[in-house]
Structure 1
Amino acid sequence: MKRRVFHIGRRVAALLGASLIAAAASIPARAQTPEKLELRYQGWASKVLYPELAEDLGYLAPIKLNWVGNTISGPQDIQAAVTGDVDFGGAFNGSIVKLVAAHAPVKAVISYVGTDKETNGGLFVLQDSPVKGARDLIGRKIGVNTPGAYAQYLVTAYLQKSGLSKEEIEKVVFVAAPPVNLAQLLKQKQLDAVFLEDIIKDKLLADGGARLLTTDYQLLGSFGYASYLFTDKFIAQNPNTVRKFVDGTARAIEWARNTPRAEVVARLKKIVEARHRNEDTSIVNYWKSAGVGGKGGLIAAEDFTTYIDWYVNNGVLKAGQVKPDAVYSNQFNPFNQSVASK
Structure 2
Amino acid sequence: MIPSRPVRPGLLHPALPAVFLLALLALCGAAGCSRDEGSRASAAGPEGEFETLELRYQGNNGTVSPIELAEDLGYLAPIRLNFVGSTVSGPQSVQAVVTGDTDFGGAFNGAIIKLIAAKAPIVAVVGYYGVDEHRQSGFYVLNDSPLRTARDLLDRSISMNTLGAHSEFMVKEFLSRNQLAPEEARRVTLLVVPPVNGEQLLREKQVDVASLSDIYRDRALERGGIRPLFSDYELYGKFTAGSYVMKTSFIKKNPRTARRFVEATARAIEWARSTPRETVVARCIALMKKRGRNEEDSAIKYWRSYGVAGKGGLIAERDFQIWIDWMVRSGELKPGEIALDRVYTNEFNPYANEQATP
TM-score, normalization by structure 1: 0.88
1:27 maps to which residue?
none
Tell me if the contact between 1:32 and 1:240 (Cα under 8 Å) persists in the aligned partners: no
- Three-state SS of the structure 2 residue aligned to 1:225 is strand
Bigger mean CA deviation after superposition, 156-165 or 264-273? 156-165
Q: Distance in 1 between matches of 2:140 and 2:237?
A: 19
- The offset of 1:338, in angstroms, is 7.1
Matched, 1:126 2:138: no
- The offset of 1:217, in angstroms, is 1.0
Q: Distance in 2 between matches of 1:250 and 1:39?
A: 17
1:326 maps to which residue?
342
1:47 maps to which residue?
63
Tell me if the contact between 1:333 and 1:339 (Cα under 8 Å) persists in the aligned partners: no
Tell me if the contact between 1:257 and 1:289 (Cα under 8 Å) persists in the aligned partners: yes
1:19 maps to which residue?
none
Q: Distance in 1 between matches of 2:356 and 2:50?
A: 19
- The offset of 1:155, in angstroms, is 1.4
Cα deviation digits, residues 192-229 of structure 1 (max 9, x gap): 10112211111111121211112211111100011001
2:266 to 247, 250, 253: 250
Matched, 1:161 2:177: yes
Q: Distance in 1 between matches of 2:93 and 2:57?
A: 8
Counterpart of 2:107 in structure 1: which amino acid?
Answer: A
Cα deviation digits, residues 245-267 of structure 1 (max 9, x gap): 00001000000000011101111
- The offset of 1:72, in angstroms, is 0.5
Bigger mean CA deviation after superposition, 99-108 or 244-253? 99-108
- The offset of 1:268, in angstroms, is 1.0
Matched, 1:142 2:155: no
Q: Distance in 2 between matches of 1:286 and 1:216?
A: 19
Counterpart of 2:106 in structure 1: which amino acid?
Answer: G
- The offset of 1:340, in angstroms, is 8.4
Q: Which runs of at least 4 in structure 1 moved beyond 4 Å after TM superposition?
A: 338-341
Aligned positions of 1:1-342 closer than 5 A: 33-337=49-353
Tell me if the contact between 1:93 and 1:307 (Cα under 8 Å) persists in the aligned partners: yes
Tell me if the contact between 2:66 and 2:128 (Cα under 8 Å) persists in the aligned partners: yes
Tell me if the contact between 1:145 and 1:179 (Cα under 8 Å) persists in the aligned partners: yes
- The offset of 1:32, in angstroms, is 8.1
User: Unpaired segments of 5 or more residues in structure 2?
Assistant: 1-26, 31-46
Number of equivalent positions: 314
Judged with a 3 Å threshold, the aligned counterparts in structure 2 of structure 1 residues 263 and 127 are, in CA distance, closer, same or farther, namely same
Identity in percent: 52
Cα deviation digits, residues 304-326 of structure 1 (max 9, x gap): 11111111111111111111111
- The offset of 1:103, in angstroms, is 1.2
